[in-house]
Amino acid sequence: MKPYSDIAKVIHKEGYIFIIIAAIITFILGSFSTNLLWICGICTAWCAYFFRNPERMTPEGDNLVISGADGVVQNIIESIPPAELNMGSDPMIRVSVFLNVFNVHVNRIPVTGKILSLKYFPGKFVNASLDKASVHNERQSVLIETKNKTKVAFVQIAGLIARRIVCDLEEDQEVLSGQRYGIIRFGSRMDVYLPLNTTIEVAIGQTCLGGETIIADLDKPKSEERDFVRRSI
């Protein structure tokens, strides 16, 4: 296991302005009413909680694909990768992780490699839990090549109330799995596109931790078809 190489901060930089504004409103309204002080104070605390930027421990292995976001695995299906990445029309395995407003929204690199392409698509803002969000919603798509020359795509997708996608990557940049690279403000989704022969290590309904949960092993031969639905016991 390895700690992140970049410096962890308690709050992501995108959250500062929201927290400051909320604190000012709390101070002003709180001077008139104790009830408003409590209500606004709770809102300010939630804002700080939403933009939290926790430390995580990332499993070692250039072949491992790590979840790029906190959230629940929504589906694992065969799907054509985003057209803007020019990866062709052959289907790949798409693992989708849905983030609600209580999840950490800082995004992380799923696999170690070199950034080949960055493409922004100005789409719609339908509910990110819907399958059509992968095609129609505003998104930031990234194509990366691993050290073994395997191409993997990962996509930040805006949701119903998300209105800003932040991606700090550059083309030709060398990155490490688990490295922080951006954030999606409020409800959203992250899709990862993998080769069809990839062994998937998560199940539908499973909760993932960004930078920690292994979602696939690129070097492990694909086993027989499995039921990806996990039962609670």
Cα 45 off chain centre by: 23
Catalytic hit among 67, 79, 141, 188: 188
User: Do 39 and 30 contact (CB within 8 A), yes or no?
Assistant: no
Say how far apart CA 180 and CA 69 lie, in whole Å. Answer: 10
Say how far apart CA 208 and CA 230 lie, in whole Å. Answer: 13
Say how far apart CA 139 and CA 154 lie, in whole Å. Answer: 10
Say how far apart CA 13 and CA 50 lie, in whole Å. Answer: 12
Q: What are phi and psi of 231, to 5 degrees?
A: -90, 145
Would residue 232 show up in a list of annotated catalytic residues for this protein? no
DSSP 199-226: EE---BT-EE-TTT-EEEETTSPP-S--
Q: What are phi and psi of 26, to 5 degrees?
A: -60, -45
In three-state secondary structure terms, 39 is helix
List residues with catalytic annotation. 188
